[in-house]
Amino acid sequence: MNKFITIILCLVVISSSAEGQNDPQKKFEESYIAWDEGKYTTALEGMIELIEGPYYAKYLEKIAQITGELYSVRELTADGSSPGFSPDGRYVYFHNGEYLNSTINVIDLLKNNKKLYEINGSDISFSPDGKKAVFFRLEKTADVKKALGVLEKARNAFPFNRQDYYRARTEAGYYLSMAKKLFEIELDTGRERKLPLDDYLINSVTFSSMGNYLYFTGALRTEPDICFLFSYVETTENIVRISGNQDDHVNKIICEPEGRFIVYTLTKSNPLPSKSSGRRGRTDSGSGDFVIHYLNTGESRKINGRFASLSKDGSTLLYTMKNDASTELFYLKPESRQEPEKIISTEDRIENPVLSVDGSLLAYSKMVRDDFEVYINDPTGKKERQVTKEIQHDRSPQFISNDKLLTAKGEGRHRRSYMYDLKKGSSTKLFHNNTVRTIAPEYGWTISGDGSKILIVAERDGDTISPERGVYLLDLNTRIKQEVLLKRLKNNLRSERDLVLKGQRMFEPIYNNVRSVTDRTSISKIFEYEKVLYDFDSKHISQPGNKQAGKYIYDLFRSFGYEPEYQWFKPSRSRTYNNEETANILAVLPGTEYPELFYVLSSHYDSNARCSGADDNNSGVAVLIEAARVLADNPMPASIVFAAFTGEESGLLGSREYVRQAVESGLNLVGALNNDMIGWCNNNRLDNTIRYSNAGIRDVQHASAILFSNLITYDAHYYKSTDAHAYYEAYGDIVGGIGSYPVLGSPFYHQVSDRLENINHNLINETCKTTVASLMLLASSPSRIKGITSREVSRNMIELSWKPAREKDVDRYIVQYKVLDGTLYSIETDKPEITLPMLENGTEVRIKAINSRGLEGWDWSRLIINN
C-alpha cells in the first residue's frame, strides 16, 4: 500500500512539473516581469523558449514589441536626409551631402528596392504619374566659389566666432541661390535637361495635380524683392504669375489632388536669400495668411489665418488663428465657397493640427498641464478624445489612414514613433534598433500616399555625435517572422551574458571593497541635499541662489574632511550677468599610489533661470555630494576630483573654465564622469541612460549598475551640449556619465514645473551607487595606454611598442588581434613592446595594461596596421 501511494505521489509531481513546463502564459508573464525589472538574461531565456515552442504564434508579436520592432524595417542608407515618396508610391528618395556634393538617391520599390539613380542635385519633386521629376542643381559658377570661400574662411577663423559663422552662412546662401538652376529628369531613361528658367530665382517647385505644368515660387533675378507664385507650362514654355501684388511673399504650395484648386501660403519675410539685408531665406513664423486659388475660374480667396492641413482627398481644409489669449481652429470646405467654421477656441497650447485622409477627423497635440498629448476630434469640435496618455510629450500626429495615427513620443533629441489604432484604442511601437541597451533616436517620419510604408530618419546605432543619420523604410504590410525574432533574441542574450560576465571579471579583485562603499549611500542624505538646493530657488548665475548653492556645496565638502576650493571666474558675457563672478566648487581625494593621475566626477549646480531645477540639476549634484561623502575615507590609487560646475545653462561656462585651467596647469586628467538630470522617472522602472564618448567607460557603468545597484541602464554615444563636451574638446574620448531615460524625456525639462515632487529619490540613490562603483573601478585600474607604434623588423615580423603605463603597479600588458579567418589571438607581455607575425593591412591590434591586483585597463588602445 505504501509503495502504491509512493508511485501515485511521484506521478503527481511529474504531472505538475510537465504542466508547469507546458504553461506558456505563465512563462510569458515571468519573462515579461523579468524584462520589466531589467533582468534581461532571464527574460530572454524565457522568450527564446516560447518562440522555439509550439505556441510561438500566440506570443510572437507580443515579444517582438517588447524587444524591438514588429514590422519589417530596411536601412536605405546610413547617411541621408530629407527622404520622401513619389506621389504614385513607386519611388523613394533621400539626399546625401551638401552644396556641390549634394546628391539625390532614387530607389525603385517595384524593382526589389533597386537604386535607380544617384542625381547630382537637391530638392526633388516628382510628377503625379511618376514619369519625371524636377530638381535643383548648383552650376559651377563664380557665385559657388564665392560661397565656398566665405564658408571656409568662417570655419577656419581663430578664434572661432559663431555669430560671424552665421553671417557667413547668410552670405553664402545668397551666392548659392544665384547658382541654383532647375533641371528635369525622365525616370524611364535617365535623360536630363535644364529647364529654361534662368531668369528666375526659384525657391520651391511642385507639379500640378495633373502633371501638365509646374508651380514655382520665386522672383525675376532683376526684381527679387517679392517672392511670387508662377506656373510654367513645359510644352509651350509659357510662364504666368499667379499671386498678385497685394499679396505678401509666397512660401509654400499645396496642390489639391483633383486639380480643382491650389493653396499657397504667405509670409511677411522674403524666403529668398538676400546678401544686402542679411536675410537667410527663412520665413517669419509669426506672420502669414494663405490663399485658395481656384483653377477653373482663376478666382483667389485670401484667408486670414495659418494654413494647417488639407485632407488627402482635397475635400477639407484646416487652419488656425492665434491671439494673445487663445488658439482657434477653423474647418473649411474649399469647393463649397462657404464661410469657415470655428470648431475650437481654447487657451490651451495647440500644435500640429492635421486632417484625416477623408477629412472626417482632425488630430492635434495639446498641452493641458505639463506635457503635450495627442487628441482627435470631429469637424464639429464637440467630440474631442484623448489618444495618448503618457507623461512624456506626444507630438507631431500624422494620419496613416482614417483610423490609424502616427505620433512621436519624447523630447526632440530622443523621439520614438508609435502607431495608434483609433478603433481598437491600441498602440504599436514602430521603430527600434532591436538591442537591449542602446537607444535609437528618431527625427523625421514620411508616410507613403497609400499608408503602407513609412520613411524614418534616425540614429539607429545610438550615435548622436557623428553628423550621419540613417534613412529607414518600414513596411506596415510585412511583419516579423519567427526565425528573424529568434535571431534577435539569441543575439541579445549573447550580448547580455557577455556584458554580465565581463563586468564580474572586471570588478572581481575589488568587489568586496566596492560593495562595502556602495552600501553606504543614503537616500535620506540624498534627499537632504536635494531639499536644501531646491530651497535656494533658481541657481542661474544671474540669481542669488547661485552663490548660496556654491557655499553650501563648499561647506559640505569641508565637513567631509576635504580641503575644497572656489574656482572663481567672470563669465565671458559678464555684462549679461551684472558683471558678477561665479565659481566652480572643487574637492580632491588624493590618490594613494599614483596621485598625479586624476579622475573627475562632475555635475553642474546652476539651474535654468525659470526654476530651481530639481532634476536639472539638483539630482546630479546630490549624487556628486553623496559620492564625495562615502568615498572620503576610502581613497583610491588615483586621485579623484569632485567638481560642481557653474554656468552650464549659460553655455558650459564652468566646465570650460575648469578644463581651460586644467590644461594650462598640465593636469593629467585621464577619465571623467559627468551626471546631468538623473532624477525623473517615466514609470515604475528605475532607469537612466549612460551618455558616453568612451565605450570602455560605458561598459564599466553598465557593469556597475548590474552588480551594485537596482538601476537599469541604457546607453547613447552622446556628449554634445553638456559639460562632457568641454572634456571632449580638450582631452578627447575620456568621458562617461549618466542622464535621464528617455534622454531629456521629462516634460518638466527647463520648465517651472521642474519641482522636487516630480523627482524619484530612489532612482537618484541607485544612480549614486552606480556612479560610486564606476569611479572606484576607474581610479583603481590602469588608464588607456598611449603612443602605440609599429615597425617592420623583417619580412615576416613586426614590432609594436608603446609608452609604459602611467600607473606604477602595472606588471603586464595584453595584446589582441583578429586575423582574416576570424581567429582572435591574445598574448601577454611584461614589457611595453611585442614582436608579432606580419599582419595584413587593416588589422586592428588592441592593447591594455593589467596591474598587480589583476585589474585590467578600462579601455583598449587601438592601432590599425598599415605596412
Residue 19 confidence (pLDDT): 44
Residue with cell 595584413: 840
In this predicted structure, what is the pLDDT of residue 12? 42
Pairing of strands 81-85, 91-96: antiparallel
* Predicted confidence (pLDDT) at residue 275 exceeds the cutoff of 90: no
The Cα–Cα gap between 806 and 782 comes to: 8
pLDDT of 146 > 90? The answer is no
Reduce the DSSP state of residue 355 to 3 states and report it.
Answer: strand
Cell of 64: 517582438
355 touches 311 (CB < 8 A): yes
| pLDDT of res. 159 | 66
- pLDDT per residue as tens digits for the range 630-676: 999 999 999 999 999 999 999 999 999 999 999 999 999 999 999 99
Q: Give strand ranges (E) for 9-155.
A: 71-77, 81-85, 91-96, 103-108, 114-120, 122-126, 132-138
Report the distance separating Cα 10 and Cα 385, nearest Å.
58
- Please report the pLDDT score of residue 248 as a whole number: 82
Q: With cut-offs at 50, 70 and 90, classify the pLDDT of residue 577.
A: low
**Rounded to the nearest 5°, which phi and psi values hold at 222?**
-85, -15
Kindly tell me the sign of the dihedral angle through the C-alpha atoms of 444, 448, 451, 453: negative
Q: What is the pLDDT of residue 4?
A: 44
Question: When comparing pLDDT for 162 and 150, which is higher?
Answer: 150
Query: 20 or 527, which is more confident?
Result: 527
pLDDT of residue 272: 80
Answer positive or negative: Cα dihedral of 62, 64, 68, 71: negative
- Distance in angstroms (rounded) separating the CA atoms of residues 669 and 203: 51
Nearest 5°: the CA angle 33, 39, 44 is 80
pLDDT digits (tens, 9 = 90+) for 482-534: 999 999 999 999 999 999 999 999 999 999 999 999 999 999 999 999 999 99
On the question of pLDDT at 306 being above 90, the answer is yes
Three-state DSSP at 702 gives helix
> For 442-472, what is each residue's pLDDT tens digit?
999 999 999 999 999 999 999 999 889 999 9
Q: Which amino acid is at 727?
A: Y
**DSSP SS3 for 4:** helix
Residue type, 541: I
Q: What is the pLDDT of residues 82-107, one digit of tens each?
A: 999 999 999 999 999 887 789 999 99
Amino acid at 828: E
pLDDT score of 626 more than 90: yes
pLDDT band, residue 18 (cuts 50/70/90) = very low
- Amino acid symbol at 512: N
C-alpha cell at 333: 470646405
273, 279 contact by CB (below 8 A) = yes
How far does CA 452 lie from the centroid of its chain? 25
